[in-house]
Structure 1
Amino acid sequence: MLSTSDLLQLSARGIRPEEINQQVDYFKQGFPWMNLEKSATIGDGIVRFSDADLASHIERFESRRSSLNLLKMVPASGAATRMFKSLFEYISSGQPNKESDLFFSQKESFAFYQELASITPDGSSEVDVLKVLLGASGMEYGSLPKGLLKFHQYPAGARTPLEEHLVEAAEYASDGQKARLHFTVSPEHRGRFEALVAQLSPIWSSHFGIEFEVTFSEQKPATDTVAVNMDNSLFREDDGSLLFRPAGHGALLENLNDLTADIIFIKNIDNVVPDHLKQATIQYKKALAGLLLWILEGISYLEMRLKGELKPALIEEALLEIKTYLGFEVSADFAFLSLDAQAAALLEILGRPTRICGVVKNTGEPGGGPFWCQDAVGNLTLQLVESAQVDMSNGSQKALFAGSTHFNPVDLVCATRGKDLLAYRDMSTGFITEKTKDGKSLKAQELPGLWNGAMANWNTLFVEVPLETFNPVKTVTDLLRPAHQNA
């Protein structure tokens, strides 16, 4: 199936032939559906902080942060093209639409409007204004990543999401001396990110009295997946070479695996707010980190005891602890293991990467939610599940998914030090999509999502966070919402 030239192409990308064979097998067989057992709810997989809990976890984090290596990771790859979909449609059709009408009726409310107005010729039509905003000869917003767009207006000028993340990081991802951030970016935009950081870092270092250490990485070519024709044969370019495509945000697990820190905060690039609305985010980030520190202490204590004298009562205590705080309930077969084998199994669970995921009340936003899921051997684990992973033709599974009380806003606090994260990925949780190339239909494959299957075998606990901490910008007019206005 693979020719000599194919093997050379794979070698240049750092991809092993067996990876391609596995991908083709997934194209042929499809991916198995997730087996939802029940929604995670308050008291059963989801923790709700009392005021006292919130204060206690924040205090724990504050008391230890100076001795911790903290890092904030922000996936910031990809152009913001979809953010302007309706405006592009106006340009191509010449016909205004609901979103373009809203855009022009409140154009002065956008943080980028002052710049747009200054470079747009007088008397320009609406379509011409949009061409200046989106086009390569203007502001290039149609091809730039969200991180470089002007989101929020301040008296001193407009801020990009990149700048808002720097400000946030100073508040909770700093040890008091240094704030570390890592952005994953696309190669064509890396220079602009680096230039903006070089411009902003001295300003905010002076303001906060700390150093900013900002690093960047790009999605690795070795994580790209091969495309196939609709009959599952390998899709080839006109020159006979294989076609590879980026494998979605799950590919960034490799980038996360390269990072070293005691605690890593993960948050999407577009989920930022102006300063006067940041307090809830800052408080809950600190509280999630404080809870994680407490759980890690509990893990170390249990590990020590399980390596000592074993008694059935200790095993029962450990089972309750890992279900309550690590999102893992063992299968019925566990009871038939010897005491030593039970301890070994529990130590393996305790040794996994650990994450706490903030979740918000479900308000109908598209995306995944928190569930208890059954794995292939009957264990129940807490997972973040997307709709594409659920068999919607199965009435009970569809109802379970629709009935989820909470939603995943991508708000993670992780402990990964010393772990090979690739070993904890469930490769059977990828996605298959249909695309076109040069007018030809093809099938593409995405790796398990970064906070879904890529973290399937992590210890997981969900915490309810305030809805005001979730303010994504999916379309340009989302910037008109109160959460993004700085009046």
Structure 2
Amino acid sequence: MIELKQMSDLTGFIRTHRLSGEDLREIQLQGKDLREVVNNYNVLVSEKKQVKLIKPATEEEGLISIDNLLDDLAYGYEAIENKPVKFTPMSGAASRMFGFLESYYQNASDDDNEKVNTFIKGLDERQPGPHFSFVRELKDVLKRDNLNLSKLVDEKKYKTIISYVLNENGLNYRNKPKALIPFHVQNGRAILALEAQMEEALRYGNGNLFITILHEHQDQFIQAIEKIKKENNELSQVYIHISEQYNSTNTIAIDPATKEIVRNNDGKISFFPAGHGALIKNLPNSGPSILRNVDNVTSDEIRKQVIDKYHKAFSVYLSQIKTKVSTILTRLDADSISETDLRDQMFALQKQGFQLIIDNDSFSNAPFDEMKRIARIALNRPIKIVGVVKNQGEPGGGPFIIEYGDYRIISIVEKDEIPLEQKSLMEKGKYFNPVDILADPVDYKGNFFDLTEFINKSRYFIVSRRFLGKEVKRMEHPGLWNGTMDGWNSIYVVMPNETFAPVKEVNDLLRLEHQ
């Protein structure tokens, strides 16, 4: 039931923003409620609440070493009944990978020459490696038009080469998803990032790969999957679950000057994708999922080690922790646990690196009935194991101890979320978030949590983007591995840096870990 005041507020919003019956129907078609639009609007015109850092997370406070998980843990993997599936967002375009080539192609900027020279060298197989895995494909499209790559390199016709890399008359990488760019060469074949992700899914033991894509890329993905399975028979066993970001997660934008809701050229309210936090609704509900970025796929040998050694240890550790959590909750249900036993088991979990959202002093000093209530709330949450690596200057967030209501938690925080006066504190952080997460959204009774209940809604992002030639202000949901998972119980694990090999620019593919 909508209360009278809410109805009055909604009516006032409709009048103030001159919303028509067609506007209200469009909101419904998006799968949204008018109250959500009102909330989006209020966020956009309000002052953003920033994250308050307390201190960086360290191995002395909050983080544990992967070595703590490796002692015989990986060897228990086969006994785990519910092995993890793989969840990889793949809606990202490859255009940013080729940004410096685009800039050079449009304006031959001297600032980009060093990168362009490195790129051209990576195409020239007459020179010692490393080389790009798509050289053969590039040669083929050039040959079709009676062009020769080596000759173009010698004549320094770099714009022509780049044109065939970026444009539709060539490889068309400007318009492809990053997942469909060749990253490596295996057994004489160029391997797409997608194929590497499929290989990883198979290695976990169940061959289930969940991916999220843009609707306009669906045909490209289906064709690529069919081709991969035809050329690599082993991957015919991989089952790929394709989903798209739900329209209901899209948000409105406003004109920052007039505060009016942004509309398209047809006069309809414009709705925009609202960041990767929206993908929490796409997270598989079948059990634990390994979440990594599509571009973090190293060469074959390193990937085997990441899975067989580290991710399998993650899974065994999660299984052990979850068994202990389930035992405590089941005994609470049956009222068969003593005060001393409950206190001891709660503290024992935390000594293993399990980060509970709890005030230990309040818990310890509470009457037994209240202690049981606190324990139930603290334990009955989704669980995530988060891998972090030493910070070597990569852009992105890291693990910090922050305020979360009345509690202190560890969370991945981005620089855009903090006030300027805390910038120096953020710079003291020694660890970085590579997005290497084992997420378990299932409770101790086997039911899927309503994950929206565990989102720290105050950690949304406000971004400025251009739309129809104008600057507009948009809201994005809290990041998937940031505020969206703040309400989860966590284990933060320091991983070796060689497990992290992102491809932010195409030249990153020339790094040793991709050869």
Structure 2 length-normalised TM: 0.87
Matched, 1:382 2:392: no
Alignment of 1:65-84 (within 5 A): 67-84=81-98
Unaligned regions of 5+ residues in structure 2, if any? 1-12, 125-130, 443-447
- Equivalent residue number for residue 55 of structure 2: 38
Contact 2:66/2:310 (8 A) holds in 1: no
State the Cα distance separating 1:58 from its structure 2 match. Answer: 0.6
What is the aligned length?
A: 470
State the Cα distance separating 1:56 from its structure 2 match. Answer: 1.8
Contact 1:75/1:183 (8 A) holds in 2: yes
Alignment of 1:328-347 (within 5 A): 328=356, 330-331=358-359, 334=363, 337-347=366-376
Contact 2:83/2:315 (8 A) holds in 1: no
Structure 2 Cα separation of the partners of residues 438 and 27 of structure 1? 19
- Of 241, 251, 271, the match for 1:225: 251
Matched, 1:200 2:228: yes
Contact 1:82/1:474 (8 A) holds in 2: yes
Contact 2:57/2:400 (8 A) holds in 1: yes
Structure 1 length-normalised TM: 0.91
Alignment of 1:2-401 (within 5 A): 2=14, 3=19, 4-50=21-67, 53-64=69-80, 67-95=81-109, 97=112, 98-108=114-124, 109-120=131-142, 121-122=147-148, 125-172=157-204, 174=205, 178-201=206-229, 204=232, 206-207=233-234, 211-231=237-257, 232-256=259-283, 259-282=284-307, 283-307=309-333, 308-309=335-336, 311-321=338-348, 323-324=350-351, 325-328=353-356, 330-331=358-359, 334=363, 337-376=366-405, 378-391=406-419, 393-394=420-421, 397-401=422-426
Deviations 1:84-139 (A, max 9, x none): 11100111113452211211122231111111122122465211211111112221
Contact 2:183/2:509 (8 A) holds in 1: yes
- The DSSP-based 3-state class of the residue aligned with 1:413 is strand
Deviations 1:331-355 (A, max 9, x none): 3555665422231122122111101
Letter of the 1:145 counterpart: P
Which of 29-38 and 79-88 deviates more? 29-38
Contact 2:357/2:378 (8 A) holds in 1: no
State the Cα distance separating 1:150 from its structure 2 match. Answer: 0.8
State the Cα distance separating 1:276 from its structure 2 match. Answer: 2.5
- The DSSP-based 3-state class of the residue aligned with 1:326 is coil
State the Cα distance separating 1:399 from its structure 2 match. Answer: 3.0
Contact 1:70/1:261 (8 A) holds in 2: no
Unaligned regions of 5+ residues in structure 1, if any? none
Going from structure 1 to structure 2, the CA distance change for 1:77 and 1:475 (only over 3 Å counts) comes to same
Contact 2:69/2:317 (8 A) holds in 1: no
State the Cα distance separating 1:401 from its structure 2 match. Answer: 1.5
Going from structure 1 to structure 2, the CA distance change for 1:43 and 1:170 (only over 3 Å counts) comes to farther
Structure 2 Cα separation of the partners of residues 276 and 336 of structure 1? 52
Going from structure 1 to structure 2, the CA distance change for 1:59 and 1:43 (only over 3 Å counts) comes to farther
Going from structure 1 to structure 2, the CA distance change for 1:369 and 1:295 (only over 3 Å counts) comes to same
Which of 273-282 and 381-390 deviates more? 273-282
State the Cα distance separating 1:310 from its structure 2 match. Answer: 5.7
Going from structure 1 to structure 2, the CA distance change for 1:316 and 1:13 (only over 3 Å counts) comes to same
- Of 476, 489, 503, the match for 1:459: 489
Structure 1 Cα separation of the partners of residues 32 and 249 of structure 2? 8
State the Cα distance separating 1:162 from its structure 2 match. Answer: 0.6
- The DSSP-based 3-state class of the residue aligned with 2:281 is helix
- The DSSP-based 3-state class of the residue aligned with 1:106 is helix
Give the % identical residues. Answer: 30
Contact 1:328/1:379 (8 A) holds in 2: no
RMSD (CA atoms): 2.0
Contact 1:383/1:460 (8 A) holds in 2: no
Contact 1:334/1:342 (8 A) holds in 2: yes
Contact 1:359/1:406 (8 A) holds in 2: yes
Letter of the 1:451 counterpart: W
Matched, 1:425 2:455: yes
Question: If you compute each CA radius of gyration, which structure gives the higher value, 1 or 2?
Answer: 2
Structure 1 Cα separation of the partners of residues 500 and 431 of structure 2? 12
Contact 1:328/1:380 (8 A) holds in 2: no
- The DSSP-based 3-state class of the residue aligned with 1:152 is strand
Contact 1:185/1:218 (8 A) holds in 2: yes
Structure 1 Cα separation of the partners of residues 341 and 39 of structure 2? 42
Structure 1 Cα separation of the partners of residues 357 and 456 of structure 2? 18
